[in-house]
């Protein structure tokens, strides 16, 4: 159990990749704090994992700050943050409902930035005072943070932004033993696609390939945060084998 004595905050822990990651971190001995809006789901998972649930809409800066500060108050420290909450609202740019762009920018960029900003003072502190003497901020991007194509331009824009942020921050804090890492999943089973509006979703080509399980991405995240202090995994891109 390599994360014994650490505290990890996972955003978007009420489903999909975030939920699987919370389970995987807890299995390694971390005490987990779970943040999202659906508190009933967080409470059930927290009861199962012996963790701490905090209701937070991280697009609201005060709630993002509260997710971080209440974690530190309740659990005493903060070693690992998984900046995972995100939304993908696909569709063409022309005639798009601009409200969908606002939602993606609010969560995938602003929410991620608010959580990082609130967490960094703690990560910098506990990187010096920890069971591992290193801290981790893992930012969940996407294959869409590496590729540009039609039908998802603004989602791709936000995920490219996550990559820029993660690398700029990495350069700034790595010498102080805070590792800023980027995870770029390909198609993964979760609720993500259920939020795509019906007019767009009904036109998506049904996937015939074997896609990733949320646990596959959780495995990669566990790999990142369990490396020894001298080793930083800056970036991992994971696709289903059959995804081109
Ligand atoms: P899910 O839709 O299953 O999970 C999204 C999570 O984000 C939920 O827990 C949701 O909880 C939370 N969330 C949504 N809005 C907010 C908010 N305003 N404040 C706090 N939490 C919020 O999808 P995934 O697990 O797939 O997505 C996780 C990440 O993985 C995202 O960043 C996504 O872009 C990325 N990703 C996913 C891929 C895939 O194929 N599934 C591929 C590439 C990247 P709640 O509604 O309770 O708030």
Per-residue confidence (pLDDT) for residue 89, from 0 to 100: 98
CA of 26 to the centre of ligand 1 (A): 19
CATH number at residue 100: 3.40.50.720
Domain enclosing residue 227, as ranges: 7-238
Helical spans, DSSP H, in 127-207? 153-173, 198-201
Q: Are 9 and 65 in contact (CB under 8 A)?
A: no
**Which of 51, 26, 146, 27 has the alpha carbon at shortest distance from 36?**
51
| Atom number of ligand 1 nearest to Cα 87 | 34
In a domain, 133, yes or no: yes
ipTM tops 0.95:
yes
Read off the pLDDT of residues 54-96 as tens digits, 9 standing for 90 and up: 999 999 999 999 999 999 999 999 999 999 999 999 999 999 9
Say if 186 falls within a structural domain: yes
Q: Answer yes or no: is the C-beta of 75 below 6 A from any ligand 1 atom.
A: no
Atom of ligand 1 nearest to the CA of 194: 2
Asked if the model's pLDDT at residue 1 lies above 80, the reply is no
206's tokens: 């049904």
pLDDT tens digits for range 101-115: 999 999 999 999 999
What pLDDT, in 10s, does the model give residues 192-236? 999 999 999 999 888 899 999 999 999 999 999 999 999 999 999
Question: Which residue has tokens 């659990």?
Answer: 75
243 in a domain, yes or no? no
What integer pLDDT is reported at residue 102 of this predicted model?
98
In a domain, 39, yes or no: yes
Q: Is residue 153 part of a domain?
A: yes
- Average pLDDT estimate for 128-141: 95
Rounded to whole angstroms, the Cα distance separating 32 from 7 reads 6
Structural domain count of the chain: 1
- 80 domain-assigned: yes
155 falls within a domain: yes
* The pLDDT of residue 166 is above 80: yes
Q: Give the mean model confidence (pLDDT) for residues 159-187.
A: 98
Q: How far is the CA of 82 from the centre of ligand 1 (A)?
A: 12
**Is 2 among the domain residues?**
no
């Amino acid at each position: 159990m390599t994360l014994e004595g650490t505290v990890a905050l996972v955003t978007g822990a009420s489903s999909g990749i975030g939920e699987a990651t919370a389970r995987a971190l807890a299995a390694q001995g971390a005490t987990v704090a779970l943040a999202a809006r659906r508190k009933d789901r967080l409470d059930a998972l927290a009861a199962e994992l012996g963790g701490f649930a905090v209701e937070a809409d991280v697009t609201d800066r005060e709630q993002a700050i509260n997710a971080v500060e209440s974690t530190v108050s309740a659990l005493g420290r903060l070693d690992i943050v998984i900046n995972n909450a995100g939304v993908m609202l696909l569709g063409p740019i022309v005639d798009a409902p601009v409200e969908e762009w606002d939602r993606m920018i609010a969560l995938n960029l602003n929410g991620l930035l608010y959580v990082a900003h609130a967490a960094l003072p703690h990560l910098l502190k506990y990187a010096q005072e920890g069971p591992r003497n290193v801290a981790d901020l893992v930012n969940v991007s996407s294959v869409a943070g590496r590729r540009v194509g039609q039908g998802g331009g603004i989602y791709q824009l936000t995920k490219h932004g996550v990559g820029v942020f993660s690398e700029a921050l990495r350069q700034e804090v790595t010498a102080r033993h805070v590792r800023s890492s980027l995870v770029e999943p390909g198609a993964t089973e979760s609720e993500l696609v259920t939020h795509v509006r019906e007019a767009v979703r009904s036109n998506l080509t049904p996937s015939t390939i074997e896609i990733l399980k949320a646990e596959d991405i959780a495995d990669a995240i566990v790999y990142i945060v369990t490396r020894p202090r001298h080793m930083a995994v800056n970036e991992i891109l994971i696709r289903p084998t059959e995804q081109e």
